[in-house]
Amino acid sequence: MLVSVPTSAKSLSEYEFFVDPGDIDDLHKLADKLHGKKVLHINATAVVGGVSEMLYTNVPLMQSAGIDADWKVIHGSDDFYNVTKIMHNSLQGMDIPLTNQMKSIYEYYQKMNADMMEGGYDFVIVHDPQPAGLPTFLKDHRKIGKHWIWRCHLDLTNLNRSLWAYLIPFLSEYDANIFTMAHYVDGHIDDLPPCYVIPPSIDPLSPKNMPLDDASVYRTLKKYKIDPDKPIITQVSRFDPWKDPLGVIDAYRLAKKEIPDLQLILAASMATDDPESWHYYEKTARHAGEDSDIFLLSNLQGVGNLEINAFQRGSDIVVQKSIQEGFGLTVAEALWKEKPVIGGNVGGITIQIDDGVNGYLVDSVEDCAKRIIDIYKDGDRATKFGIEGKEKVRQRFLSTVELKSYFQIFNDLLED
């Protein structure tokens, strides 16, 4: 059977400090008709990545609202994750054909995991392409779950049409689909069940986002040989071509001509479902060369959520120079910490950063370098960006906001 992922208990009441008066009461009212309903989340990994980070919060918060929520991960192999990485890249715009052999591998693991499933759920939420075919390979998916929802966290703006055509029969088995932005499915919506838009969220009480005192930040930076007294820019993301770490290094080098003491942190978690990240880590390391002011750090050096928290809080500027991005939780994390953020002018980053209000959107290495210099030289602007950014996250991208959207969808499906 699929293995449940254990989560720590959380209470909605703990979030009252962050939200507007009455918001938590509204959540409980929305959950009234859902009391005792069984909800199952399914994804590819519980170890790293934005989806797992959100589920570690959303599942126990659903439980706090009286819902019987669970989370399970699928089983796979290197071959399977290589195929799903190709699917991931193809859905985000790369022209990579999915061969018949790849389809066979994908479908083999869909059936294998479907055979491990046990039923009795009111709602089953399947995250991203890795487990998207599960309902198709169940003898009667309605016995497993009364209502099925597929949530896609990817940027589908330039998706590969042939891969989308392959996935449509799988996705047509669902009762609803969730996307991060409406325009991701422009032109594709006629092929799908009802679509909803829910941006991802961050947990202000998680180890990655909770308050840290200056002494803890200082100690963490020193531990990794980073000088807290010199300017720091940081990008937190997988080593992945879509995150453009090579472009970040190039922008850093241009900015360093104006800011000689500038340091760059590229921090990541190496994911079990992303074999490509190891290759791109090596490529990034070669591009960084022998520059002692560039720090490539990951969970391999003991970097976890608390360390990421410290890196972001200890930075003068946070960068997320993606060239394609479904959302980019690291943007919301940095905005929450009142840091000025420079992000690629793509995908979900554009709904987080209001250009010139709480950060900057950039389209090139040169733009990124210029904005690093602009922010560094204007402390008042950096402070203003930080204040505006935190308030935007509070209003739109906290876990309680996402939870409210889930509850509304559940109630809609119950009424159908």
Q: Are residues 154 and 14 in the same domain?
A: yes
- Is 40 domain-assigned? yes
225 sits in the region (left: phi over 0; alpha: psi -120 to 50; else beta) called left
- Is 84 domain-assigned? yes
- Number of domains making up the chain: 2
The domain that holds 45 is classified in CATH as 3.40.50.2000
Q: Are residues 183 and 225 in the same domain?
A: no
- Is 207 domain-assigned? no
Print the domain residue range for 145: 3-201+398-415
Angstrom distance (rounded) from CA 82 to CA 86:
6
Q: Are residues 73 and 181 in the same domain?
A: yes
Q: Are residues 35 and 80 in the same domain?
A: yes
Alpha helical stretches, state H, 337-378 = 365-377
Q: Are residues 163 and 264 in the same domain?
A: no
Q: pTM (2 decimals)?
A: 0.94
CA 115 to chain centre: 29
- Is 218 domain-assigned? yes
Q: Are residues 180 and 247 in the same domain?
A: no
- Is 208 domain-assigned? no
Residue among 20, 11, 52 at smallest CA distance from 394: 20
Q: Are residues 408 and 287 in the same domain?
A: no
Q: Are residues 331 and 407 in the same domain?
A: no
Q: Are residues 112 and 251 in the same domain?
A: no
Q: Are residues 178 and 263 in the same domain?
A: no
Q: Are residues 78 and 218 in the same domain?
A: no
From first to last of the 416 residues of the chain, give the pLDDT tens digit. Answer: 899 999 999 999 999 999 999 999 999 999 999 999 999 999 999 987 889 999 999 999 999 999 999 999 999 999 999 999 999 999 988 889 999 999 999 999 999 999 999 989 999 999 999 999 999 999 999 999 999 999 999 999 889 999 999 999 999 999 999 999 988 887 666 677 889 999 999 999 999 999 999 999 999 999 999 999 999 999 999 898 899 999 999 999 999 999 999 999 999 877 655 667 778 889 999 999 999 999 999 988 999 999 999 999 999 999 999 999 999 999 999 999 999 999 999 999 999 999 999 999 999 999 999 999 999 999 999 999 999 999 999 999 999 999 999 999 999 999 87
Q: How deeply is 9 buried, as exposed, middle or buried, from its count of CB atoms within 10 A (0-12, 13-18, 19+)? A: exposed
